[in-house]
Amino acid sequence: MIAKVAVLGSPISHSLSPKLHNYWLQKYNIEGKYYAMETKAENLYKTICNLEDRGFVGVNLTVPLKQEILNIIDDIDEFSRKISAVNIVIFKNGKRIGFNSDSYGFIENLKYGIKLYNCCEIENYLDKVVVLGAGGAARAVIAGLIKCGAGEIFIANRSLDRAINLVDDFDCDNLVVSPWEERDNLLENTGLLVNTTSLGMVGQPDLNIKLDKLPNNALVTDIVYNPLDTKLLITAKSRGNKVVDGLGMLLFQGQMAFEKFFGVIPDVNDDLRNLMI
Ligand code: ATR
C-alpha cells in the first residue's frame, strides 16, 4: 500500500513541506505521497481520526496546531513534552505518538551554517545566547540550545509573562528573562543571537533591534525563511557577523520527520536548498 502522510495547518497553501517530502519520496524510490490539508483547530480531532481510518502513516503539524495536538495524542517523549509542542504524529498500533523535530532542525541548521563558514564548532558561540521570542518556536530553540550545553540564555519577549512561563516550565538555571525593551543592551558579550519571533516575515513588521553592542564575531540566526535574507540578517552581515538563515531549519526538521514516516534519513545539501528557494 502507498504510504500516505499529510501536513495539517491553517493557512497551509504556502507550506513547503509537500514539495520537500515528495521530492525525497521520488529521490529514494519510496511509494508514498505527502499532502497538505487545510485544517483549523476545531477540526483537528475529526481530521486525525479520518486520516487514521484511511491508513495514513502519520501527520506533520504546523501553525496553529502544534499545541492543540497535545490533547489528542497518546504518547510523547520527554524532550517534546518539555517543549510542549508537537509537529510530528505517527499512527502506530492504534496509538498516536507525538514528536518535536523543530529543535533538531534548529540545531542541525546552525551546525550546517557554521560549517559553511569553515569555522569553529557551535559550542564556541554558546556561552551567552540571546533569544528573541517566547512562543512555540522559542521553546524548541531553547530546548536545543540547552541540550548543546549553552551557558546563559537570555529570553526577551514582547509579553513578559509568556517568557516567565517558559522559564518556569523549563526549570533550568541557565535561563534569564529580560524585558523586550532591553533587547539592544542584552547584546553585549553575546555569542549567538536568535530571532524566533514572526517579525521580519513577509507581511509582518521588521524586527526592530540595534546591533551596536553585539560583538562582530557573534553568530546571528533567524528562524524566518520568507524572505531568506531578513532585515536582521542583512544588517548583521553588513557589520561583519556570520549569519545563518532559517531555511535549513525547515529542511532538517523535515529530515527527522521523513525518517519517522518512511524509515530513510534523507540528505540535506545545497542542491536541496536551491530547489526549495
Ligand atoms: P511560534 O509557534 O512560531 O513561536 P507564536 O507562539 O505565535 O508562534 O509566537 C510568536 C512570537 O513572535 C512570540 O514571541 C510573539 O510575542 P508575544 O508572545 O508577545 O505575542 C512574537 N511577536 C509576534 N508579533 C510581534 C510584535 N509585533 N512585536 C514583538 N513580538 C512579536
From ligand 1's centre to the CA of 200, what distance in Å? 11
Dist CA 153 CA 135 (whole Å):
15
Q: Strand pairing partners for 213?
A: none
The pTM assigned to this predicted structure is: 0.96
Mind listing the pLDDT tens digit for each residue in 63-98? Answer: 999 999 999 999 998 899 989 999 999 999 999 999
| Ligand 1, atom nearest to 137 Cα | 4
Mind listing the pLDDT tens digit for each residue in 235-250? Answer: 999 999 999 999 999 9
Cβ(157) – ligand 1 distance below 6 Å:
yes
| Ligand 1, atom nearest to 63 Cα | 2
DSSP sequence for 227-245: SSS-HHHHHHHHTT-EEE-
CA distances from 274 to 108, 115, 271 (A): 18, 18, 5
Mind listing the pLDDT tens digit for each residue in 22-64? Answer: 999 999 999 999 999 999 999 999 999 999 999 999 999 999 9
Cβ(67) – ligand 1 distance below 6 Å:
no
125 pLDDT more than 90: yes
Residues taking part in catalysis: 66
Nearest CA, atom 11, ligand 1? 197
119 pLDDT more than 90: no
